[in-house]
Amino acid sequence: MSQWEVVIGIETHAQLATVSKIFSGASTAFGAEPNTQACAVDLALPGVLPVLNRKAVDCAIRFGLAIGAEVAAKSVFARKNYFYPDLPKGYQISQFELPVVVGGAITVQVGSGDKAYEKTINLTRAHLEEDAGKSLHEDFHGKSGIDLNRAGTPLLEIVTEPDMRSSDEAVAYARALHALVRWIGICDGNMQEGSFRCDANVSVRRPGQPFGTRREIKNLNSFRFLKEAIDFEVQWQINEIEEGRKIQQATVLFDPDSGETRTMRTKEDAHDYRYFPDPDLLPLVISRDWMARVRSELPELPGQMRQRFVEQLGLSAYDATTLTASQEIAEFFESTVKIAGAANAKPCANWVMVDLAARLNKEGKELAESPVSAAQLGGLILRIADNTLSNNIAKKVFEALWNGEGASADEVIEKQGLKQITDSGAIEKLVDEVLAANPGNVAEYKAGKEKAFNALVGQVMKAAKGKANPQQVNDLLKAKLAG
Amino acid sequence: MAEPGPRLPMNMINASLKELSQALAAKQVSSVELTTLFLDRIDRLNPQINAFVTVDRDKSLKAAAAADARIAAGQFGPLTGIPLAQKDIFCAEGWRTTCGSKMLENFVAPYDATVVRKLEGEAGMVSLGKTNMDEFAMGSSNENSYFGAVKNPWALDRVPGGSSGGSAAAVAARLAPIATGTDTGGSIRQPAAMCGLTGLKPTYGVVSRYGMIAYASSLDQGGPMGRSAEDCALLLNAMAGFDERDSTSLERPAEDYARDLDKPLAGLRVGLPKEFFAAGCDAGVMAAVQGAIRELEKLGATMVEVSLPNSHLSVPAYYVIAPAEASSNLSRYDGVRYGYRAPEYGNLDDMYMKTRAQGFGAEVKRRILVGAYVLSHGYYDAYYLQAQRIRRLIANDFVAAFNECDVILGPTAPSTAFRIGEKSSDPVQMYLSDIYTIAVNLAGLPGMALPCGFADGLPVGLQLIGNYFAEARLLNVAHRFQQATDWHTQQPEGIA
């Protein structure tokens, strides 16, 4: 099969976490009764005027600073004109020629393990705009219902360069962006409620050739759909071209049930939006003071934290990336390390990323709902580090903490008598008993069967109720069998 | 009609706001009495003039009674209890607000425009009703109203000018002591001129546009229309001011626009743009304007010739920018949420098309089409951007001219009131009616019209243009002129 290169750019609409709408004082809370959160401005009554919510601008500035972009000293709101029943004014207020954020980049980790690699995705721009309402086509007996609660909700539309070369890269970018907007507190990231939705511009070409014609897949509201939609679309485009057809520029929708994309409209029926600067709004001027204020409120960013984890805690790049995937994980990890000590950062990372993550996953819980706190986990790791617990017993203590059987690892160890036996005299006594009771195994071992040794170790551990220090058991057994 | 009772100390229908204010404060007359007087005149005379589209006697009298209560309680300002007419472009809670259109024939506003809140809610003025206007303020003759043409009280077969023709006719016919208007390309000044009134379009951003139904957002500005500069100053005091609901409203300290009314005019430099005194203006209008110049010279002003070299581009630039903004502003009238919806339609697009085809009048449709065209892909640069460049040139012309003079003077309109139907078949002729006023809106400057004589028995309006925020200066010049002349006190015969 001949080689094809996939080219993907992504546009994301992130709903900004403001209390009120971008141009009115109405609430942005999700899930209210239809049209109860739409004021005169949102309904586009005659005579009303928009007033910019400066909190939405704060969010845009935060984002611009977080991705190292230029925050425009002056940007302009424009009207995008089209008719649709859920667009009350007959135009959407957006930014067109002069957006508030220009450039910037996000570095993402693609894949895992040996195949993992880093990739920097460049951003074209991010601009502020208002959301439309919703058309409801069910339950109205041949009519359509309009809910304008969402009309005027602030959005940041974030546009990348066509820098991604696979659906994996696209998903890695979308995940990183999703984590970032939540990290800096500008978007709740709730994809079910539509707070974070992606459009993917997809084309294919022969390596070294100019870009192919792109098709835009609209409104992908999960990472899985994003991947499935791109994979289907890429294969479809390759087939089309290989069968001698040309790709027509189009907007397509992804149907998660069939796993296919289908054309919504082609370039021929594209709207002429007749953009022009909104005369009701002055140009948005962002002063240095405003920028400085927002900068001073920014938390440590995931990239900076990731670097710190690698340089100061000695974590691998992969671990550091995983632990900075969200602010919740990062905070949990840092709190764990605070108790367990920086010297134990690696076991802390493993416990958070592997053991705790698996347990949470099993119960379908979020990190925030973890019954084991970071402090408890840190305490547990301390007891592993000082040899009070073997790894196996540590897992029991973890389980006990999960089930609320003690306030701390120390309390569980004390109550349940789980302290590791490190007294070599006590271990030697157990070893002697086991050797005496299992002459068969001893004979097999001496005949060269390594497996018999493991059986003996198991017997000793069993006799010690798992509490004997495994290293000591090993050493003593070997010494006795050799003797 | 209820004759003013014997205890009324003066001819109330011709009283100034100051006189009305004093009479109310002295309890020589009540707001209910005053309001009844004007409502009775409206009942009697409006059928001939068609100045009002909505009158609600109960609502007005209730507001008047509330004003009387405020006066009785000693909690009142200089305008409390004084009736006024509101142009039907201002949303007023509980009032039908039509903007002269079938589209909003049955639209009852659920909120007050800032101007309404300030004048009625805060200052305590009493609305006599909503005045007729060209549909969505698009027109220069008031013939574009869904509710029929307004007649000029000076000659009932003539137009009152537009788009604030209903307000102008109402004040000229003494159906209201004063009225609000709006001015996008001359819609306060041109009807004021044609009806023998004084009207002021303030600097863009001085009066809030919140609740004032938008025609062309970057040009629209509300202002007073009355019988004297003094009345206009008093109304503007209550109308103007920063409004956080209007992002284009200007955050400036409050000012008393009447503070300089009596200031002598000695040393005043009046700029006469040579372009305003070239061909194209009726001789009778020009003669009256020349008379006003001589009068001002007598009052101590000196005339200097100035030039506005790009003023000939103002009408074409305006008829790109205003329709562009209008085409977008009027998109909300789609039949979905409020207003007119076609009774029968097929699919969604058909509903839009029929609703807008039936709900808008011809001139509105013409401007929506022009606006959509000049904003469309491939034409935007050639029309819209080019017009914006011209707009800057025009504003620069004024900046240069104001280096030479304090105020600029010229005619308001090239002719007196024309006959109903005379220009309605020729849009370009109609558009040229605003040739002297439009540049002021493009530059965002304050401008005034005031009576300066008659031509063939019809009022002629003088125009004064000021630098940014020079409203008080304009009112001062107009007031001194009115102290020395009596053109503004003339009353149309046959309307009594």
Predicted-complex ipTM score: 0.95
**Vertex A274, ends A272 and A276: CA angle to 5°?**
155
Detail the DSSP E strand segments found in A62-212.
70-71, 74-75, 77-81, 91-95, 101-102, 105-110, 117-130, 134-136, 145-147, 154-160, 196-205
| Upstream peptide bond of B60 is cis (omega within 30 degrees of 0) | no
- The neighbouring-strand residues paired with B127 are B84
Structural element, H or E, at residue A187: none
CA-derived radius of gyration, chain B: 21
Interface check A398 vs B, CB under 8 A: no
Residue A405 carries which DSSP code? S
What residues of B are labeled active site? 87, 163, 187
CA distances from B357 to A45, B344, B345, B447 (A): 20, 13, 12, 35
**Which residues in chain A are contacts of B376 at CB distance < 8 A?**
272, 274
pLDDT at A390: 83
CB count within 10 Å of CB B161 equals 37
Candidate from B91, B213, B334 with C-beta closest to A90: B334
How would you label A128-141 residue by residue, b for 16+ Cβ within 10 Å and e otherwise?
bbbbbbbeeeeeee
The alpha-carbon gap from B468 to the nearest alpha carbon of chain A, in Å, equals 18
Tell me the residues of chain A between 103 and 162 that have a Cβ less than 8 Å away from chain B. 146
Report how far residue A149's alpha carbon sits from residue A133's, in angstroms, rounded to the nearest whole number: 6
Q: Name residue A5's amino acid.
A: E
| Residue B374 near residue B320, CB atoms below 8 Å | yes
β-strand pairing of A250-255 with A215-220: parallel
Candidate from B99, B218, B245 with C-beta closest to A49: B245
Nearest CA in chain A to B217: A279
| Residue A130 near residue A155, CB atoms below 8 Å | yes
Count of H helices and E strands in chain B? 15, 11
The alpha-carbon gap from A277 to the nearest alpha carbon of chain B, in Å, equals 10
Candidate from A45, A46, A49 with C-beta closest to B246: A49
Least confident of A144-148, A425-429, B288-292, B436-440: A425-429
Mention every residue, 6+ apart, whose C-beta is less than 8 A from residue A386.
none
CA dihedral (B336, B341, B344, B346) positive or negative: negative
User: DSSP letters of B270-288?
Assistant: EEEEGGGGSTTS-HHHHHH
Report how far residue A38's alpha carbon sits from residue A26's, in angstroms, rounded to the nearest whole number: 6
Interface check B136 vs A, CB under 8 A: no
pLDDT tens digit sequence for B136-175: 999 999 999 999 999 999 999 999 999 999 999 999 999 9
Interface check A281 vs B, CB under 8 A: yes
Phi/psi at B145 (nearest 5 deg)?
Answer: -90, 140
A85–B107 C-beta distance less than 8 A: no
The alpha-carbon gap from A275 to the nearest alpha carbon of chain B, in Å, equals 7
pLDDT at A472: 86
CA atoms within 13 A on the CB side of A339: 21
pLDDT tens digit sequence for B105-141: 999 999 999 999 999 999 999 999 999 999 999 999 9
pLDDT tens digit sequence for B233-250: 999 999 999 999 999 999
Kindly state the tokens that stand for A8: 């993907």
Residue of A41, A54, A268, A274 to mutate, testing the B interface (most B Cβ within 10 Å of its Cβ): A274
Tell me the residues of chain A between 68 and 97 that have a Cβ less than 8 Å away from chain B. 79, 81, 83, 85, 88-91
B214–A146 C-beta distance less than 8 A: no
Residue in the block written with tokens 């009070």? A388
Residue B262 has pLDDT above 80, yes or no: yes
**Vertex B85, ends B83 and B88: CA angle to 5°?**
150
A83–B217 C-beta distance less than 8 A: no
Report how far residue B450's alpha carbon sits from residue B463's, in angstroms, rounded to the nearest whole number: 7
| Residue A368 near residue A332, CB atoms below 8 Å | no
Mention every residue, 6+ apart, whose C-beta is less than 8 A from residue A321.
A109, A306
Q: Name residue B292's amino acid.
A: A
pLDDT at B4: 46
Residue in the block written with tokens 């243009």? B465
Write the Ramachandran bin of A399: left for phi over 0, alpha for psi from -120 to 50, otherwise beta.
alpha
User: DSSP letters of B435-472?
Assistant: TTTHHHHHHT--EEEEEEEEETTEEEEEEEEESTT-HH
B17 by Cβ neighbours in 10 Å (0-12 / 13-18 / 19+) ranks as: buried
- Of A182, A125, A135, A133, give the one whose Cα is nearest residue A153: A133
Report how far residue B242's alpha carbon sits from residue A212's, in angstroms, rounded to the nearest whole number: 53
CA-derived radius of gyration, chain A: 30
B111–A40 C-beta distance less than 8 A: yes
B217–A47 C-beta distance less than 8 A: no
CA dihedral (A141, A143, A147, A153) positive or negative: positive
The alpha-carbon gap from A281 to the nearest alpha carbon of chain B, in Å, equals 6
Interface check B109 vs A, CB under 8 A: yes
Candidate from B104, B248, B372 with C-beta closest to A46: B104
Interface check A272 vs B, CB under 8 A: yes
Q: Name residue B446's amino acid.
A: P
Q: Biggest alpha carbon distance in chain B?
A: 70
Q: 3-class DSSP state for residue B166?
A: helix
Report how far residue B165's alpha carbon sits from residue B141's, in angstroms, rounded to the nearest whole number: 7
Residue in the block written with tokens 């006590």? A426
Residue B2 has pLDDT above 80, yes or no: no
A81–B328 C-beta distance less than 8 A: yes
Interface check A279 vs B, CB under 8 A: yes
Interface check A101 vs B, CB under 8 A: no
Report how far residue B323's alpha carbon sits from residue B427's, in angstroms, rounded to the nearest whole number: 14
Residues of chain A with pLDDT under 70: 1-2
Rounded to 10°, the helix A450-463/A439-446 angle is 150
HEC string of B316-357 equals: HHHHHHHHHHHHHHHHHCCCCCCCCCCCCCCCHHHHHHHHHH
CA distances from A70 to A22, A99, A122, A129, A305 (A): 22, 10, 13, 18, 22
CB count within 10 Å of CB B262 equals 11
**Which residues in chain A are contacts of B111 at CB distance < 8 A?**
40, 45
pLDDT at B5: 46
B376–A274 C-beta distance less than 8 A: yes
Q: 3-class DSSP state for residue A124?
A: strand
Interface check B385 vs A, CB under 8 A: no
A83–B352 C-beta distance less than 8 A: yes
CA A131 to chain centre: 24
- The neighbouring-strand residues paired with B276 are none
The alpha-carbon gap from B477 to the nearest alpha carbon of chain A, in Å, equals 32
Q: Name residue B433's amino acid.
A: S
Interface check B84 vs A, CB under 8 A: no
CA dihedral (B232, B237, B242, B246) positive or negative: negative
Tell me the residues of chain A between 31 and 70 that have a Cβ less than 8 Å away from chain B. 40, 43-52
pLDDT at B8: 55
Candidate from A40, A81, A85 with C-beta closest to B331: A81
Q: 3-class DSSP state for residue A110?
A: strand
Report how far residue A178's alpha carbon sits from residue A345's, in angstroms, rounded to the nearest whole number: 26
Nearest CA in chain A to B250: A282
Report how far residue A31's alpha carbon sits from residue A150's, in angstroms, rounded to the nearest whole number: 10
CB count within 10 Å of CB B73 equals 8
Candidate from A40, A43, A280 with C-beta closest to B248: A280
Mention every residue, 6+ apart, whose C-beta is less than 8 A from residue B375.
A81, A274, A275, A276, B324, B327, B328, B383, B384
| Residue B105 near residue B88, CB atoms below 8 Å | no
pLDDT at A399: 94
**Which residues in chain B are contacts of A43 at CB distance < 8 A?**
337-338
Q: What mean pLDDT comes out for the span B359-377?
A: 97
Report how far residue A399's alpha carbon sits from residue B64's, in angstroms, rounded to the nearest whole number: 79
User: DSSP letters of A275-305?
Assistant: -EE-TTS--EE--HHHHHHHHHHPPPPHHHH
Report how far residue B302's alpha carbon sits from residue A124's, in angstroms, rounded to the nearest whole number: 59
**Which residues in chain B are contacts of A282 at CB distance < 8 A?**
247-248
Kindly state the tokens that stand for A215: 């098709």
Residue in the block written with tokens 């790709």? A247
A51–B245 C-beta distance less than 8 A: yes
Report how far residue B259's alpha carbon sits from residue B216's, in angstroms, rounded to the nearest whole number: 32
Residue in the block written with tokens 């009844």? B36
Interface check A285 vs B, CB under 8 A: no
- Of B129, B85, B89, give the one whose Cα is nearest residue B107: B89
Report how far residue A178's alpha carbon sits from residue A188's, in angstroms, rounded to the nearest whole number: 9
